[in-house]
């Protein structure tokens, strides 16, 4: 699993923990763990956006970049929502996560289409 996906998974776990125990929002260790994983996602996303894919992967790359952009927005909104205990920011972050998921789903469809058209011998 790449650092990007591992960190995303860990963010999900941490948010699940705070859902069960909202007092974790005041726990510095929990916040540091969350912030570290958020930083990994943002840094990995920056690196991915710099890639120059071959032409046949351009639409897949474009959709995946779209997903990373939504994820970056979600992270920024999530951090602001947690730091300021702002439920509006948290709702906006949730919306950005939904948009990121939609983009990932579309990228998977594009990737599958590329793979089906791929001749592994050539």
Please check the confidence at residue 93 and state whether its pLDDT lies above 80.
yes
Tokens of 10: 């860990």
What distance in Å separates the CA atoms of residue 94 and residue 80, rounded to the nearest whole number? 13
Q: Round the average pLDDT of the chain to a whole number and report it.
A: 92
Q: How confident is the model at residue 83 (pLDDT cuts 50, 70, 90)?
A: very high
Q: How confident is the model at residue 117 (pLDDT cuts 50, 70, 90)?
A: confident
Record the pTM: 0.86
Please check the confidence at residue 107 and state whether its pLDDT lies above 70.
yes
What distance in Å separates the CA atoms of residue 72 and residue 92, rounded to the nearest whole number? 12
Specify the pLDDT at position 1: 58
Tokens of 113: 């289409």
Please check the confidence at residue 104 and state whether its pLDDT lies above 60.
yes
What distance in Å separates the CA atoms of residue 109 and residue 113, rounded to the nearest whole number? 6
Please check the confidence at residue 63 and state whether its pLDDT lies above 80.
yes
pLDDT digits (tens, 9 = 90+) for 3-40: 999 999 999 999 999 999 999 999 999 999 999 999 99
Specify the pLDDT at position 118: 59
Question: In degrees to the nearest 10, what's the CA dihedral of 87, 31, 66, 93?
Answer: -10
* Domain spans of the chain, in order of start: 3-117
Which CATH number is 3-117 given?
1.20.1440
| Helices and strands in the chain: count of H runs, count of E runs | 4, 0
């Amino acid at each position: 699993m790449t650092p990007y996906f591992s960190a995303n998974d860990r963010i999900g776990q941490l948010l699940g923990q705070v859902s069960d125990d909202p007092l974790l929002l005041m726990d510095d260790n929990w916040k540091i763990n969350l912030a570290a994983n958020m930083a990994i996602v943002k840094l990995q996303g920056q690196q991915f956006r710099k890639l120059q894919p071959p032409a046949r992967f351009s639409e897949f790359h474009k959709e995946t970049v779209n997903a990373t952009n939504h994820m970056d927005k979600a992270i920024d909104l999530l951090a602001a929502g947690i730091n300021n205990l702002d439920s509006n920011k948290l709702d906006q972050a949730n919306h950005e996560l939904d948009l990121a998921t939609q983009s990932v789903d579309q990228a998977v469809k594009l990737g599958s289409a590329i793979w089906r058209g791929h001749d592994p011998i050539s």
